[in-house]
Structure 1
Amino acid sequence: MSFSIETYNLTRIFKSKQSGRINIVKALDNVNLKVSKGELFGLLGPNGAGKTTLIKILCTLLFPTSGKAYVNGYDILKDTSKIREIINVASGGETPGYGILTVKENLWFFSQLYGIPNRIAKERINKLLEIVDLKDKTNERLNKLSSGMKQKLNIARSLLNDPQILFLDEPTLGLDVISAHQIREYIKFWIKEKENRTVFLTTHYMAEAEELCDRVAIIDEGKIVACDTPENLKKMVSKGSSFEIEIAYINDEKINLLKSLKGIMALSFNHKIDENLTIIKIIVENESIISDVISMILSLKSKVISLKKIEPTLETVFMSLVGKGLEND
């Protein structure tokens, strides 16, 4: 089997000096991954887990401290030019060009940077504008576009050179539900359109990884803690039972008291301040423990609004492996 991406004990350490002291952060810690050609591969983890650092290394924008990495068989340290010819990258929240230029002018500008012949560039630009549904915005200035439209343009820009491998770093970050759905549809269309195209996607949205990816690696504090298909990952949490509890708002200090209860394998929470609610998701060793959880919630002067058992998801997988939810990092 040939691989689009391979990493072997890939490590990246950042050092900084503050008040005379040297701070050391291990952003990547012996990462070993293999991504097959034609695969839509996801890297799931919280902010600061090392996702962007890994993409920068694979895109030849950052050197590793140690270890090896190959993109389509090319060494990231020795074959940077060859790698850059066959890849592209788009990041969520990134400005896709110059505000005073129109949508079409921005794409034309980047096509020339990529060295694409004029005729081919025109054909690709027209095709990509249709794919990302920006045909009616062709002559609109970039600075007049909404966030969703800018990200659509960013995706179009990343496809201009017809890359073999597309790196997407949080591609739907900050987008509304409709725009995020459209971006995901473009990604699925693009990878199926031509054989052996590969997508390497980073995200902290569980549902996005579950919907899009053939396989998912979970990263936390620079380490890969699991890697498999979404279905196989969900089988890993079959030992415990997962519940979602909606309660009247309690602060983080009180939630930490809940975590101390015996039999709780993992707990994550999300506050809805406007509604004065806290949503708690827990994995327990057995269902009988729920009565203890409810009793403690009531003793903390809160009240239970709803309680339901939930099926395993990538979120519960992450919780079981790391002991917390993505939003509680």
Structure 2
Amino acid sequence: MDFKSVFTKNWPYKVAAVVLSVLLWLSVSADAEVAEQPVSTLLEIQVSDSAWSLREVRPAEITTTFRGGRNQVFAALSAEPVIRKVIDQVEDTVVQVPLSTSEVIYNRQLGVAPVGVSPEVVNVYLEERVGKRVAVAGRTDATAAPGVLVVGMQVAPDSVWLQGPASFVNEISEVTTATFEVGAVSARVTRQLEIALPPDLAGLSVEPATVIATVEVDSLRTRLFTSEVIATGPRALMAALDPPTVTVVVTGPAGIVDGLDPADVRVTVEIPNSFEAAASYPVAAALPDDVAGTVTIDLVPERVSAGIASDPPDP
């Protein structure tokens, strides 16, 4: 008999069988080995008394220790257990709330059991519940597709009723929406968004909890204006400007740019006390205040020469 051929025949399958056997043995050994593992636990506290709100829980970190086979204990880490408590009646601003393993909600099919909760008692700090109306600000990642401009984001309603602990509510004048994630847009987009309350402040609620958000867009428009340059400053009357007019390029939302009148575009140049003949000075353009910041303005040329006027004013 060729013993060498017996051992080398189908050797990949034999190696795989050995590896699988070792892995199976390790798995069975891990299941048989009893272990304990602390797992972060979520504590949910509901205050039934409508005159009071939850302000803070100390300590804030709750852990439950589970016991079971090592593999099962590690599996318990994948889903955070929960303890839910209800405070029906408030008699003081600080309530001591006991915690026990019998209250831990977890996946019992994992084959593990809670053997301890730390801490066993938490201090729940309560505060008088107040309410007020606050403004809502929208948030979006919207960017303009080619040929359009994002002209704003509107929310409806634009204010909500905020309730919670007095010390928190009194410091808040505005809440924001969750981010309106739309990316590049070429037309108006509308979506229902939740109000994003500050995550580090407990006991807050809003009514309504959602608003309708709309990202507004408009066509991109460019218009050219030929505007007279107006000299300003202490030596303005002595200056002769060259050229006397410049081209103003206004780019922005069509609804705004189309409504501009040539008289709305004011171009000026500051002539200082140190005015010198044939020197050049930068020009500036301004639109009415109600359109400032919504358009871009370019000037051609960007500077004008200022010579001495042939007929200077009488002293």
Task: Please give the range of the TM-score, normalised by the shorter of the 2 chains.
Answer: under 0.3
Larger relative helix fraction: 1
Query: Relative contact order (alpha carbons < 8 A, sep ≥ 6): 1 or 2 greater?
Result: 1
Structure having the higher Rg: 2
Normalising by structure 1, report the TM-score. 0.18
